[in-house]
Chains A and B, each alone.
Chain A
Amino acid sequence: VNEALRRLAIGLAVVGLGVASYLTYIHYRGIESVCAIAHGCEQVQTSEWSKLLGVPVALLGLIGYVSLLGALIVDGEAGRLAAVTFAWTGAAFSAYLTYREIFTIDAICIWCVISAFLMADLTVLTTIRFLRAPQARGPAGPPAAAA
């Protein structure tokens, strides 16, 4: 089951990586995104919340998905812990940006919504995977139960 969760999470992270790559590309090219809601993406893209400390949030998303993908590819306790940490951080940041879109910018960027949903799904998957994984034991503890 954990392997299935990992593969599903990798699939979602690849999709997220695609979305973030596209948003980063259009940010640096200075072009409008293909957007289903009239000019919503443009308004979000050009708002002051489209950057954090001068770094485009699209690029931060790209870095986040690359990190998450890397953590998912690395099996073991460290990988699981890193994946769940990246996913929760990404989800918290997505929640903040969605709040800004709805209540401050007053516009919705469909690509950001897709990314937020992907990150929420990844958070659920990595959390379940983390909680279900066998507990790592320290050297002084009893040996891990045989499979």
Chain B
Amino acid sequence: MSRKAQLAAVVAAAAVIVVAAVLIAGGSSDKKPPKKRAGEVIPGQTAARSLFAGIPEHGVTLGNPNAKVTMLEFADLQCPACREYTLTVFPDVVKNYVRTGKVKVRFIPLTVISKDSNVAWSYAAGAAQQNKLWNFADLTYINQGQEGTHWVTPLRMRQIARGVTGLDFSRMAAYAATPAAREALGAANTQAGIYGLSSTPSLLVSFGNAYKKLPSFDYQTVSSALDAAASE
């Protein structure tokens, strides 16, 4: 075999190796990450900040603490369906129900994707300690990585935290490393068991002292339930 023929074989083999590796890894995905706008350190920073600006937040609860209706959101920061709900339905829920003081929403971590979900929650718990959970969670969803790519890293968490005004990453990371940060996971599993929840996002709305699980998370279903709960 001539040198040139050998070289052609080498080039072809290199191309096959790389294409095969990329295809096996699922790297051919055309999913594009969101783009940063001017002045942002991370994509979605401005939108997330304006969504929650001026709304009371305490721990995992967003909204007026005296709101008649409470909605529980069982979610996993790694879950693509939670991302879809957060980016397409939740902004209208915030605008029409939370900002108006009718409803408060509580974030409950139900980690179903992988162990990385627990890690992501630990950081979120650190954000909750500083009453910044919802902004942090929203930015995490906006910048969520592809499932199975182990995108929940300290560096990524710091990058997201940097996009949340007033959130101190050092304090957040220090809290994330404590056992207390994961306490909510056990409690959430117990609650999920009580309500028979196994998937995320799962939404429950209070009707008096009882909670009803919503059959789906589209805006029509959520708003109808919230209206019904408010008029009870």
Contacts and interface: CB of A to CB of B under 8 A. Distances in A.
A131 B7 contact: yes
B6 A81 contact: yes
A78 interface: no
B152 to A, nearest CB: 10
A127 B15 CA distance: 15
Interface in B39-92: 41
Contact of A104 (B2, B7, B33, B156): B33
Interface string A52-69: 111000000000000000
Contacts, number: 77
Given A30-B153, A31-B155, A52 B6 contact: no
Contacts of B11: 88
Contact of A48 (B6, B21, B22, B151): B151
B35 A92 contact: no
Interface centre among A39, A85, A91, by most chain B C-beta atoms within 10 angstroms, is: A85
A42 B27 CA distance: 19
Interface in A75-113: 81, 84-85, 88-89, 91-93, 96, 100, 104-106
A130 interface: yes
> In the complex, which range does the number of interface residues on chain B fall in?
20 to 34
A71 to B, nearest CB: 12
B159 A46 contact: yes
A53 B14 contact: no
Interface string B136-168: 000000000110011101111001000000000
Contact of A51 (B3, B32, B150): B150
7 contacts: A32-B155, A47-B151, A48-B145, A84-B7, A85-B14, A89-B14, A130-B7
Interface of B: 2-4, 6-7, 10-11, 13-15, 17-18, 21-22, 24-25, 27, 32-33, 35-36, 41, 145-146, 149-151, 153-156, 159
